Structure 1
Amino acid sequence: MTRSMTAFSRQERQEAWGTLTWELRSVNHRYLEPHFRLPESLRDIEGSLRERLRKAVSRGKVEATLRFVPEQSKEHLQIDQDRLQEVVNATSQLEQTGLAMQKVNPLELLAWPGVMVQSSLDMAVIKQAAIGLFADALDDLLQGREREGAELQQLITQRLDAIGNTVTEVRSLLPGILQAQRDNLNLKLAEIQIELDPSRLEQEVVLLAQKADVDEELDRLETHVQEVRRVLTQKGPVGRRLDFLMQELNREANTLSSKSIVANTTRSAVELKVLIEQMREQIQNIE
């Protein structure tokens, strides 16, 4: 199923120990670029969260923010002695280097991340709850990407239909275009009262036909359209493949335009390029 790279998810869980809230935002990006913002007390679960995200999402810039509000009536602050000693040792090492330092403010030490902890909270339980809530938020994000992807697929399919109709129209015009060029050549010869050898006339017509021959380009346009339809039904990331096919479609439309000898086919080539560009803009959001 085609998935967009744009979506938003918000999941919240309230327990006796407090409230957890996950917000996930995803936008288009060439590669997967995750950004996590977690409270310091829950920072050590980031690795497992990144791995879960990497397995579920292939492309997109994903911002994941976790907010944790402890239940105030249950919160009792205490000092993590080991963490505090690490900070004190670090300041002592700086003094030994000879750097001039002001006297350390105890309140600044307490403000250092990890020094103050909530003694009454079972952080292991909260971490597991945060991981589980992240899984719910990620599932919701993927569903949003799939819903938008389905809409993008529909928009692209509509333009593929329009391209198919344009190709069919150009094919139907080609015999008339060649006959009109033959008649126009005969008319010009009649006006200047020059009688051209039939074989020479036929050679000129053949040259015109070769110049206006776009059957190969039309065939490739139809082939690429069929391939785009097939890729849209595949599972997994398809955005890069679709982007490549847009380049190929645009190449054939440009060739069609360069071979045009009448205004009708020129307009058709322009219409094709407009449709292809519209698809390309949509495909930039597909995973």
Structure 2
Amino acid sequence: MTGYGKSASEINGYIVEVESKSLNNRYLELSIKLPQALQFKEYEIREAVKSYLKRGKIYITVSVKPISGSNTDIFFNEKKINEIFAVFDIVKSRYSIKEEVKFEHLLAFRDAFSPELDQLTEEHFGEIKNCILKSVEQLNMMRAIEGTTLTADLLARINTINAAVEKIEESFRNDITAYYEKLKARVKEIVTEPVNEERMELELALLAERSDITEECVRLKSHLSFFETILKKENEAGKKLNFICQEMHREANTIASKSISTEIIHSSVFIREEIEKIREQVQNIE
């Protein structure tokens, strides 16, 4: 599900700002953008975030800058640039390089224009991590709101499918007798010689039974009920709901293939369309 979270905190003379965004995705994919000086902590941050999220394409951006320079995201790291120029001078002297150092050469060093974070200790990093997780919590709150809306939509579709199944059952009860009589009349038209009535009745009953969709309707309604139960009561139900959708689709296909009337075929097409819409939505549920 989609979501957005933002948090900020002042930590030992620095402003820490965190933005978290999520897009729909079947699996969990984390993209974390950190200042150069904090990249060695990425694994620890990644593992902490994983405990809050199970699915989605997540983008987290962390900005840390001195309060004195908080009006810009570009910094002049004099200490780092002096170190870079010192190395350039050594290399030029040792290998007799005549070329002058230009500004574009400095652009290859990201930390030359990143704030120095030497005032941040391990304890301060714990505060930064809390700021990140606070942003993720806000993201989860927004996702929960979307989840409530999604649940309501799915339940409405389940009710719609249930009504369509009941319509199919009623149509089948009305059609099966007429179908049997139609078969019987057709046999008498084709066969000119006397036939064993009892044998004919048995064969026609077997033909009619092959078109019986009662069991399929019962199973489909059972799947619908199970889907609703899982949706309302279980956490991290996405994968299970997806499997139930597959079973519902299978029963709807069988109903269509055994159908004896166009009305039932049309209803089964509608049901399969609704199941497909549900299945697409289920991909967004953790």
The answer to whether 1:71 aligns with 2:70 is: no
With CA pairs under 8 Å and 6+ residues apart, which has the higher RCO, 1 or 2?
1
Any stretches of 5+ residues in structure 2 without a counterpart?
none
Structure 1 residue 196: deviation in Å? 4.7
Identity across matched positions, percent: 27
Deviations 1:50-87 (A, max 9, x none): 01111111121101012234223699955159x938x9
Contact in 1 for aligned 2:35/2:114 (Cα 8 Å): no
1:177-216 aligned within 5 A: 177-188=175-186, 196-216=195-215
Structure 2 residue identity aligned to 1:59: R
Match of 1:36, SS state, is: strand
> Structure 2: how far apart are the matches of 1:56 and 1:164?
35
**Alpha carbons of 1:11 and 1:50: their partners in 2 closer, same or farther (altered >3 Å)?**
same
**Structure 2 residue aligned with 1:112:** 109
Paired residues in the alignment total 278
Distance, in Å, in 1 between the alignment partners of 2:203 and 2:151 is: 46
Structure 2: how far apart are the matches of 1:19 and 1:138?
18
**What amino acid is the match of 1:131?**
K
Q: Distance in 1 between the 2:243 and 2:202 partners?
A: 39
1:119 and 1:168 mapped to 2: Cα distance? 69
Contact 2:12 2:119 in 1 (8 A): no
Map 1:113-152 onto structure 2 (within 5 A).
113-114=110-111, 122-124=119-121, 127-152=125-150
For 1:212-251, what per-residue CA distance to the aligned partner results, in whole angstroms no more than 9, with x for missing partners?
A: 1112211221221122122213443222222222111111
Describe the superposition over 1:153-198 as per-residue Cα deviations: whole angstroms up to 9, x where unpaired.
1111111112222222222332321211133245446777966532
In structure 2, give the amino acid aligned to 1:251.
Answer: R
Shift in Å, 1:111 = 6.9
CA gap 1:186/1:114 in 2 versus in 1, 3 angstroms: closer
* Deviation (angstroms), 1:118: 5.4
Q: 1:10 aligns with which of 2, 6, 14?
A: 6
Equivalent pair of 1:178/1:208 in contact (CA under 8 Å): no
Q: Which amino acid aligns with 2:35?
A: P
Residues 231 and 242 of structure 1 are in contact (CA less than 8 Å); yes or no, is this contact kept in structure 2?
A: yes
- Structure 1: how far apart are the matches of 2:97 and 2:150? 60
Query: C-alpha separation between the residues in 2 aligned to 1:200 and 1:95?
Result: 108
Counterpart CA distance in 2 for 1:76 and 1:286 is 45
Q: Residues of 1 paired with 2:23 and 2:239: CA distance?
A: 16
Match of 1:22 in 2: 18
Counterpart residue identity of residue 226, structure 1: S
Of stretches 182-191 and 228-237 in structure 1, the one that deviates more from structure 2 is: 182-191
